[in-house]
Amino acid sequence: MKKMSYEYKIYGRKKGRKKIISFDKDFFQNCKINLGRDIKKNKKNIIDVGSGSGENTLFLAKKNPNALIIAIEIFQDGNINLCNQLSSSKLNNVRLFSSNVFKLFDALNKDSYFNEIWILFPDPWPKNKHFKRRLINDNFFKKVYPYLKKNGKIFIATDSASYLKSIMNSIYKTKSLYNWQNNKPQEWIYEILDLPFTKFFKKAQNSYRSSIFIELIKI
């Protein structure tokens, strides 16, 4: 493992407006990832980027009991909520990384560690002046490529039309790296797939916005 040195800009709040008091501090500490000990190349490793309150992380942990699920989230209240649910569900295959996902990659050698990378409903940063803050772009796809195992997959969901257009443009630009598995519009519909109904999916439904799901596989 390499030392993390480069500082990435992190946008948005790290703490909620309400203080969460009721949580198991020891369990929370044990959930924090140890990069040198927890990530093993001979094991199935899954990243959930922007895990929020943990709906998708819990979904993945239950679906893949023998895999390591890494929940990447800077929002402290979301991590505490996730840990409370992990404790009550007696799930021990999840670890937390409370920083920028690129820091995780920079701490590893450029080698294939991960089977899956999930990014459900990333912040769309809808204002034009904030587009540069969006996580998914040409650079993201190039950055994660060496860290994915052979036939590793990237799963993305968004309800933002402008973000979807940008993502599709980046997929086209990096088509030598990934195949778009579900490239037919009828295969994009989030709610008909076996996927968790997260907070942001429900928010999109309540606002009558379509949620699109994309599956890419490393070439």
What residues act catalytically? 123
Residues forming beta bridges with residue 97, ordered by sequence position: 72
Sheet holding 178-180, edge to edge: 94-97, 68-72, 45-49, 114-120, 148-158, 212-218, 178-180
How is 183-194 classified by DSSP, letter by letter?
A: -SGGG-BGGGSS
CA–CA separation, 82 and 205 (whole Å): 23
User: What are the φ/ψ torsions at residue 150 (nearest 5 degrees)?
Assistant: -55, 130
Element holding 162 (H helix, E strand): helix 161-173
Please choose, from the candidates 8, 210, 203, the residue with its C-alpha nearest in 3D space to the C-alpha of residue 105. 8
CA–CA separation, 188 and 207 (whole Å): 19
Residue written as tokens 């980046």? 170
Length of the chain: 219
Cβ(41)–Cβ(70) under 8 Å? Answer: no
